[in-house]
Structure 1
Amino acid sequence: MEKNPWWKNVQGPFLQWRGPAGIKEDGGGCTRGRGRVGPMVIHRAAASRDKDAIVKAVEEGHDVNEVEGAGNTPLHFACYEGWLEGCELLLSLGAKVNASNNAGDRPWHWARNMGHTDVMAFLEKNGGVRDQGQVLVQDHVPKVKDFYQKECWAHHPKPHQEYMDFRKKQDEALEAERSKLVPGM
């Protein structure tokens, strides 16, 4: 256990977990990367090129802009697949064309990386931009002591409150174990 871990140097207020919704202004990104963050029904349907499953999921109340742990939306997945019809459907259902993931990649970048020029053109026609979005670091990734004090990271959202509570409990348990005469007993 570090004597002065980074998470003890961060002052609130902290983010409150509101489900698998993007935390950036552009609608993407997720700092809660510890396991699955949502059901990812539409993500799986987009990756499988299943138009009916996307429509059904939206009708059942699933969010067309849900993000997974890396901050990707279903539109990222459809662009990766080069599935133009899926991209059209997702945008018609309210998908955010410029949502950027944790690395700053927008759906346009995923289409470009896979060589899907028709999808790139479609996105641009519908307001898609080529510039990189903001980069995010997830809660559980160790940060340098002064991460939140550095000007270049001043835009970065604070960790989630539930993560800060988790770290506190984890350190308390470790300290309790260390204070035992015989650890583990």
Structure 2
Amino acid sequence: MHLAAQEDRVNVAQQLVAAGADISAVSVAGYMPLHTACHFGRLNMVRYLLSLAGRGDVNRTTKMGCTPLHLAAQQGHSQIAHLLLEHGADANLTNE
């Protein structure tokens, strides 16, 4: 799921979800697929994941304390940052 998120392969992600993949699964670094998509600027994937995600996922942090919003902002992905805010991302959360 993380690789599909990194490569913006929404069609692959849809197949994985249909087969039971967990969109909240975390990597060793604590990244969910949403973190990965935000970091790499994958707008279509972010839209797809947000359509499936629970409200809490948008503010979940990595092991370094980064939310998806932090990652999008750090990489200059303003469209994704705005989309995250529309979906309840907390702009007041800080990271380490």
How many residues in Structure 1 have an aligned counterpart in Structure 2?
Answer: 93
Alpha-carbon contact 1:49-1:83 (below 8 Å) kept: yes
| TM-score, scaled to structure 1 | 0.48
CA RMSD across the alignment: 1.3
% identical equivalent positions: 32
- For residues 42-121 of structure 1, the aligned pairs below 5 Å read 42-94=1-53, 96-121=57-82
Structure 2: 5+ residue stretches without partners? none
- For residues 103-182 of structure 1, the aligned pairs below 5 Å read 103-130=64-91, 131-132=93-94
Higher helix content, 1 or 2: 2
| TM-score, scaled to structure 2 | 0.90
Instruction: Deviation per CA, 1:92-122: give whole Å up to 9, x if none.
Output: 1225111100111000011011000110011
Post-superposition shift, 1:81? 1.5
Post-superposition shift, 1:44? 0.5
Amino acid of the structure 1 residue aligned with 2:94: Q
- Decide which structure has the larger Cα Rg and report it: 1
Structure 1: 5+ residue stretches without partners? 1-41, 136-185
Instruction: Deviation per CA, 1:1-56: give whole Å up to 9, x if none.
Output: xxxxxxxxxxxxxxxxxxxxxxxxxxxxxxxxxxxxxxxxx101000110011101
Q: How far apart are the structure 2 equivalents of 1:107 and 1:99? A: 8
